[in-house]
Amino acid sequence: LLLGFSDALGLHILHLATFLTIYLAALIGNLLVITLIAVDSHLHTPMYFFLLNLSILDIGSISVIVPKSTANAILNTRLTSYSGCVTQVFFVAFFIPADLAILTVMAYDRYIAICKPLHYATVMNRRACLQMAAMGWSAALLNSALHTGNTFRLPFCHSNIVNQFFCEVPQLLRISGSEVFTSEIQILIFGACLVLVCIAFIFVSYIQIFTTVLRIPSEQGRHKAVSTCLPHLIVVTLMASTGVIAYMKPTSGSPSALDLMLSVLYSVIPPVMNPVIYSMRNKDIKAPLWKLLRWKWFIVTKMSLILQ
Q: Which domains does the chain have, with CATH numbers?
A: 9-307 (1.20.1070.10)
At 69 the three-state DSSP class reads helix
How much is the pLDDT for 127? 93
Contact call for residues 26 and 62 (beta carbons, < 8 A): yes
User: What does 95-140 look like in DSSP terms, one character per residue?
Assistant: HHHHHHHHHHHHHHHHHHHHH-GGGHHHHT-HHHHHHHHHHHHHHH
Q: What is the pLDDT of residue 181?
A: 55
DSSP for 200-235?
Answer: HHHHHHHHHHHHHHTT-S-HHHHHHHHHHHHHHHHH
Q: Average the pLDDT over 127-138 and give the result.
A: 94
Task: Return the pLDDT at 123.
Answer: 92
Please, which pLDDT band fits residue 16 given cuts at 50, 70 and 90?
A: confident
What pTM, to 2 d.p., does this model score?
0.86
Give which of 96, 93, 101, 69 is closest to 152, Cα–Cα.
93
5 pLDDT tier (thresholds 50, 70, 90): low
d(CA 43, CA 35): 11
Other CB atoms within a 10 A radius of the CB of residue 189 amount to: 11
DSSP string, 160-205: S--SSSS--HHHHHHT-SS--HHHHHHHHHHHHHHHHHHHHHHHHH
Q: Is residue 31 a contact partner of residue 59, using CB atoms and an 8 Å limit?
A: yes
